[in-house]
Structure 1
C-alpha cells in the first residue's frame, strides 16, 4: 500500500477545517440578519404619515400622558385667547382616536423648542 505524503494530508485537513469554519460563519451571519429584522419590527415605523398617540409619544421619547397634556394645554390656551402664537401640536381626531402627522410633528418640535415653550401641569407657561 502506498503512503500519502504528509503535505497532501496536511493540506486536506486545512481545507476541511476552512470549509467547516466558512459554513459556520455563513450560518451565523444568516441568524444575525434574522435577529436584526426582528429588532427593526419592534421599532415604530418612522415612515408612517400618521401616528397614534402612543407612537407619537415613543417618537418624542415622552409618555402618552405628556403628549395629551401638551394637546390639552395648547387647546386651552387657544380657547382662552382666541389665537395661538406659533405652530400648534399637529393632530387630527378621528372618532375617539388622535392621529398625529409625523412631518408636521417635526416642524412643531422645531417651533416649540426654538420658542422655548414650557408645559407644566397641563398648562402652557
Structure 2
C-alpha cells in the first residue's frame, strides 16, 4: 500500500511539474510577442512622424533610410569629394543643408535622391563613389 501511495505521489508531482512548465512557457511566449509588437508599433509611429516633417535631422535621416548616421555622413562626404574633384556631379546630389554644425535634410528631396541614386545604381564603397 505504501509503494502505491509513493508511486501516486511521484506521478502527481510529475504531472504538476509538467503542467507548470507548459504554462510558464506559454506565458513567456506571449510576453515576447507583446514586447515585439510594442517595438513594431514604436517604429511605425516614428516613421509616421518622419513623414510629417519637412526637414529631418541627420539621425532622423538615418532612421528614414534604415542606415546609421556614419553611413549617411559617408554618402555626403563621398558626393562632396566627387564634386570637388571633378567640378560636376552626375545625377542628383544628397539633399542636405548645414546650419552651424547641424545637418538637415529635405524629406521630399531625399525621396527624389533615393529614386535617382537607385535608378543609376550608385555604389558607395569605402568613401568612394563607384
TM-score category (smaller protein): 0.5 to 0.7
State whether structure 2 residue 105 is matched by structure 1 residue 100. Answer: yes
TM-score (norm 1): 0.67
2:42 is equivalent to residue 39 of structure 1: yes
Provide the rounded CA distance (Å) in 2 between the counterparts of 1:39 and 1:74: 33
**Higher RCO, Cα 8 Å, sep 6+:** 1
For this pair of structures, how many residues does the alignment match?
Answer: 89
Give the helix-richer structure, 1 or 2. Answer: 2
TM superposition shift of 1:97 = 0.2
CA shift in 2, pair 1:40/1:75, >3 Å: closer
Q: Where does the alignment leave 5 or more consecutive residues of structure 2 unmatched?
A: 1-37
The match for 1:62 is 67
> 1:123, CA displacement in angstroms?
1.3
SS of the aligned residue for 2:52 comes to coil
Q: What's the C-alpha RMSD, in Å, of the aligned pairs?
A: 1.8
Give, in whole Å, the separation in 1 of the partners of 2:53 and 2:99. 17
Normalised TM-score (structure 2)? 0.64
Q: Does 1:116 align with 2:121?
A: yes
